[in-house]
Amino acid sequence: MKEYQIIPSMNGIPLEGQFARSWRSRILLLAGVLLGVTMVWTPQAEAGSVGWSSIKITESGFDFGGEGFVAGAPTKSGYLAWDLNDGKLKPALHGHLHLKDVRDLCARMRLDYYSITHIFLTTKYGGQVCADNDKRHEWDVNLAPYESNKIGKVKVSIEKLTAKKDWTIVGSETVNLSTVHDKVKITEDGFDFGGEAFALGAPTNAGDVAWSWSNGQVTPHLTGVLHINNAAGACARMKLDYFQEDGTRLAEEFGGKVCAPDNQHHSWTVDLMPFSDGKLESIKVSIQTLAADGQWRTIGTETSWYVYHAATVALCGGGGGCLANQFPLGVEVK
């Protein structure tokens, strides 16, 4: 088995990154087809993560991506994990830096951090590595040197050391933390939450939780349709419970009361975004019905997660949206 060098630390401090862990394991087949995902990589992690963005930089002699290398370039991508802890993002870069046909030249990784409104925050660097001949050399990259509640975009670059001992960028890729979408459907006897279409006594598709991040605040936005069918005189409402990592409930919010005048199918649009918090990690979406004693009782619940805690996470495109459905253990992006 081939052994790889680890990029050295800066100022004696290891530049370690943490790949996200996820709470539950759901397979995202569609994204796998569109993005060419294969099950070969199994990163581990300590911190919770919102998702990850694929990164590949290919320049003459200097490349960043996965471990495989064919025809002068990496065959796979590396990734930037969007780790989140206590209201601060700590993007973690993972992959491999390749040097080939660049005898006596040196390189390093560079991370430029920006806010969600494109304001520059800071720049951090990986350690310097050098090629002593024209053979291909490869180093593992695990960098997570900066955290902030203002991060919204990261520019990942390879730099080379010039003959004048100046560092210059040879290639870059910029990725954004975008809105994460999670599907929610609740089906109970006579009471359902999901999409608008309704057939065979239930919604045919799901509602949506759009999770957004801005200036240290996490905001879930629930949209969909509440259905009452064959329940004359029954009343219902939506309930949202907000939780942080340790299970502490931060808040509870309620949608408006709706009632069915007869046994026909009736539906009402749901659009709720009443609460934000920096420590928010998940919400419970519930349908409640009004009992004869005047008390509201929960009859069905579904949980939506923003921060995951296991070995797989959501996939965020390079500037595109994030998909909260997850890949199986052992994922590498082509």
pLDDT digits (tens, 9 = 90+) for 119-150: 999 999 999 999 999 999 999 999 999 999 99
b/e 11-23 (16+ beta carbons within 10 angstroms → b): eeeebebbbbbbe
The architecture (CATH level 2) of 180-305 comes to Sandwich (2.60)
pLDDT value for 162: 87
Residue ranges, comma separated, of all CATH 2.60.40 domains in the chain are 180-305
Q: Which residues of the chain have pLDDT under 70?
A: 1-47, 309-334
Residue 144, helix vs strand vs coil: coil
Q: What is the pTM of this model?
A: 0.74
